[in-house]
Structure 1
């Protein structure tokens, strides 16, 4: 098995729709860290106030990176969130997705996304839009970047 930062073989899985709460923004790539810092704190606070449990931390890219991109950052939830401040409800969609687990630092995620995109094409499938990352390892100061796990999900068209 490949033990590079990508660590797992891509696979196609079916997912059920999952409710989530996010902060949505249109921004430049270099602004992502500030969005993430603000969004995760704010969404966690709103969920606590509304009596909902946060699930997986994720970021969903609604548009592909260009000059700017549209991004949602937040948590899956145990139920629908009521909009409050910049927090809005959304869902991670149901359907077939290509999945890959990336183990390693965030700055090597692009190589895993490239690998997953090539693999989708090799399967004769077409990638859809609005791909997302689930941050399995919490990015604390104590976390070892070499062992951080991020699950990548890329929806597939028909």
Structure 2
């Protein structure tokens, strides 16, 4: 069962990402390529990864504007498609989702409904932190993804 959303304060966090405008049908391959390329850059620069995420820079459409990468211990130097970025600090609505990735759309709908029910409004790009790293042996029902929506 997915816990109820909550309001929390988060600190700005440095990230290393690849940005893209990606057709929905290519999103999985973009994630895979991005994680591989960013991890290689982190290794070359001696930067420690602290988790993976995807940040959606515009409302969902047939083409998704996003950045995908790792939370890191310090800023990276640009290298190829990999650039430094930041997850913003401030007040966010957070939902901890347990389950397969194909349930994320419904989880996001629930979080956005909850935000409105609280008399709040989204205040910037949203992001997902992939707490559980999937493997071919992973039971999808055991995956944990934390959803974040800045609010005003």
Same fold, TM-score > 0.5, yes or no: yes
Correspondence 1:92 to 2:87: yes
What is the Cα deviation at residue 108 of structure 1? Answer: 0.7
Distance 2:104 2:67 in 1: 17
What residue is the counterpart of 2:9 in the other structure?
Answer: 14
What residue is the counterpart of 1:62 in the other structure?
Answer: 57
What residue is the counterpart of 1:32 in the other structure?
Answer: 27
Alpha carbons 1:59, 1:132 under 8 Å: kept: yes
What residue is the counterpart of 1:141 in the other structure?
Answer: 136
Identify the match of residue 40 of structure 2 among 36, 45, 58.
45
Give the TM-score taking structure 2 as reference length: 0.98
Distance 2:124 2:26 in 1: 21
Distance 2:54 2:114 in 1: 22
Segments of 4+ in structure 1 off by > 6 A?
Answer: none
Identify the match of residue 118 of structure 2 among 108, 118, 123.
123
What is the Cα deviation at residue 67 of structure 1? Answer: 2.6
What residue is the counterpart of 1:78 in the other structure?
Answer: 73
What is the Cα deviation at residue 129 of structure 1? Answer: 2.4
**Deviation digits for residues 103-122 of structure 1, max 9, x if unmatched?**
00000101110110010011
Structure 2 residues without counterparts, runs of 5 or longer: none
Q: What is the total number of aligned residue pairs between the two structures?
A: 152
What is the Cα deviation at residue 28 of structure 1? Answer: 1.3
**Deviation digits for residues 99-151 of structure 1, max 9, x if unmatched?**
00110000010111011001001111011221000001101111110111000
CA RMSD of aligned residues (A): 0.7
Give the TM-score taking structure 1 as reference length: 0.94
Distance 1:27 1:54 in 2: 24
**Deviation digits for residues 18-65 of structure 1, max 9, x if unmatched?**
000000000111111011110001101101110100111000000111
Distance 1:55 1:25 in 2: 22
Structure 1 residues without counterparts, runs of 5 or longer: none
